[in-house]
Every structure is written in structure tokens, then in C-alpha cells.
Amino acid sequence: MSERAQEPPVPWDQPRQDPLFMQLSDVHEWIVSRVDSDFWRHHVGDTFAPFAAGWPTWRSSERRAAVEALMLDFCRLLQTGDGHGYTWILYQTMCHRVGRLRAEGWPALKKVDNDKYDEVAGRIATIADVYPFDSDAERRRWEFSFFHPGRMTPNKLQRTSDVEWAHMLSELKALPRKLLERVLCLRSLGESPRKALPTADALFLNAFDASQTPQSRFHRFTALLDGILGLYRLAVGEGHQQEDSVRRLADAIETASKSHQEPAFANESLAVQVSGVDEARNLLFETCKHYLTRTLLSPDRVLHLLAQALPGIVLNAQPHDNSLGKTRSSPSRYDPVPRRTFS
């Protein structure tokens, strides 16, 4: 199971602890603050409560898609100044956009959906039989948390494709054979052995990612890069001292986005492709935040981080100082530089 599958699950009663939810909340607030119509500001300002209430019922991939879509919408709003009625920010609209809802609505649960849920329950029971819980009470608490309505539910399984379901089932079937080995490994590293247990969020996300093509991930990656570049271009003024740095960033992003880069992207492992898109999404979020606070990352640092995220992608412009970028695990890798140097 991937590292993502070993992460603690998102607390169902505290969605604000989910990093994706926090990003969505910030972007929503940024958009509302830029609505110039009193009517629309009041209308869209009241739209976030449904996101907070409904967030646990979204599958992991739907949450991620919502954040990416809203960030790109925000970038377009900054560049065009036109919200086009702001209906795209509404909860129901976003639910349809990311597959949380269908235009015609989801049908009532069928026997096959409940059968899938029962199949997962059986696999989880087998995993619980193998895992060395300290007590029966501890086991029951873990099983309850896994099947809480905000995590593994028949409704979420109904929105899971056949390909995703096959991957999820395969992952659950394989885990008992590897579980004790992983428990011992985690203990030897001084980490909690509970990280070896599956989480519903990770199962849904792993299954979705495995069902998608490299081409679809590449298109998400390049769309996020376009968002980053658009904001840097906004920050460039006439007589800009660092215009050459932004031009290097533009050259690199435009090169990385060309169709002939798709094979290089596809040759990376699934984990590298997924983490590369995740890095691009986080970079776009940080770019939005620092653009608004009048700070921006150095363009050279952005280049360095992109090169780290996907080393197989050819960039035709390289940073002058490779020491600008920290390792991908460093919490300070997004430290900004003053934006005033770009204006």
C-alpha cells in the first residue's frame, strides 16, 4: 500500500483538519472577497456552509478535483476580472463538475452497491484478524472508524467505477499477506504500527488514480502549470527587473506542457505521476496565496521544485542557483521572496 494509504484518515467531524478542505476554504474566501456586486457577494458568501457539511460524503478524488477546479477558476477570475455570474462557485454546481452528483441524479442504491459494501466489510474483518490489536475494544474502535458514514459508505461505492472497484478489492485482498511484515517494519522505525492499516480515503484515492490514464494526469499537471504562469505574468510590470526570470519560467512551463512531453510523463511510475500533479497543485495554491499577499516565490525556485517533482520532464530553462530549492519534504520549500521585486 502506498504512503498515502498509511496516512491518518480525515476526522469525519472536523473537515477543517483536511488540508484539501483548508485550501478550498481559502480559495472560496479569496473569490468572495473579489465579488464586486453586493447581490452576488451575499449570494456566494453563503455558499460555503454546504461544503463544510457535505465534505465527509465526498470521495477523496472528488475533494481533490474540487480544489483544483476552484483554484483554476480563481486564476481566471484574477486574469479576466469577470466572474460570469459566479454560479460556478455554488455547491451544487461543483458537485456536478467533479462527479459528486449527476445531472439526472444518482439512482437509489442497488443490491450490487450493498454487496460491495459487504465485500469490503469481509475484507476488513480479515485484516483485523491478522493485525495485532491490543484488545477487542481497540479492534472494534478501528472497524467503527473505518465504516463511519463519513468514510466507507455504499453511496461512495456507488460512485466508484468497475475499474476502481477491482483495484480496491485487489488492494484489500493483498494486504493481509503483507500486514505483519509492515507492522514489524514500522515498529523498527519507531513509527506507529497503525499506519499499516488501510483507510477508506486512501483506498478510494488509490483506486481512482490507478483507473486514470497518464494522459489525464498530464493534462491536469499542465493546467495547473498554466495557472501558475498566468499569475506570474500578472505580476510582471513594465520595466520589471526580474522579467527575464519570469520569461525563463514561461519558457520552461510552455516546454513542459508540450504534447511531446507526454511519453516522458507516462514513463514515470504511477506514484511519481501522482505526486508530481500534487506538487503542481500545491505550488499553484502557494502562488495564489503569495500573489494576494504581495509576495511570490522566486521563479527560479518554482523551476527547481518542478524539476524535483517530475525529473523526467525536460525543462529548457534552468535556475541560476540550484540551492534555491529545498527538498520536497522540507516545510520551508514555499518560503516566498518579496513580490515587489517583480513590479
pLDDT at 127: 97
Q: What is the pTM of this model?
A: 0.83
The distance from CA 304 to its chain's CA centroid, rounded to whole angstroms, is 21
Confidence of residue 12 (pLDDT cuts 50, 70, 90): very low
Q: What percent of the chain has pLDDT over 90?
A: 48
Query: What is the pLDDT averaged over residues 129-136?
Result: 96
Confidence of residue 219 (pLDDT cuts 50, 70, 90): very high
pLDDT at 337: 40
Helices (H), the chain: 19-33, 38-45, 48-54, 60-80, 91-97, 111-130, 136-146, 154-158, 162-188, 200-211, 214-235, 243-256, 262-267, 270-292, 299-309
> Of 308, 271, 303, whose CA–CA distance to 287 is shortest?
303
Amino acid at 118: D
Query: What is the pLDDT averaged over residues 241-249?
Result: 77
pLDDT at 47: 76
| Cβ contact 203:1 at 8 Å | no
Query: What is the pLDDT averaged over residues 225-246?
Result: 77
Look at 210 and 102; give whichever has higher pLDDT: 210
Q: Which three cell numbers stand for residue 315?
A: 525543462
Confidence of residue 325 (pLDDT cuts 50, 70, 90): very low
Residue ranges per structural domain of the chain: 15-97, 107-211, 214-342
The yes-or-no verdict on residue 298 having pLDDT over 70 is: yes
Q: Exposed, middle or buried, 111 (CB in 10 Å: 0-12/13-18/19+)?
A: exposed
Look at 282 and 324; give whichever has higher pLDDT: 282
pLDDT per position as a tens digit, 150-193? 789 999 999 999 999 999 999 999 999 999 999 999 999 999 99
Q: What percent of the chain has pLDDT over 70?
A: 80
pLDDT per position as a tens digit, 82-98? 766 677 888 888 988 88
pLDDT at 184: 96
The yes-or-no verdict on residue 103 having pLDDT over 70 is: no
Query: What is the pLDDT averaged over residues 282-303?
Result: 89
Q: Which three cell numbers stand for residue 147?
A: 465504516
What is the distance between the alpha carbons of residues 101 and 127, in angstroms, rounded to a whole number? Answer: 32
Look at 280 and 80; give whichever has higher pLDDT: 280
The yes-or-no verdict on residue 318 having pLDDT over 60 is: no
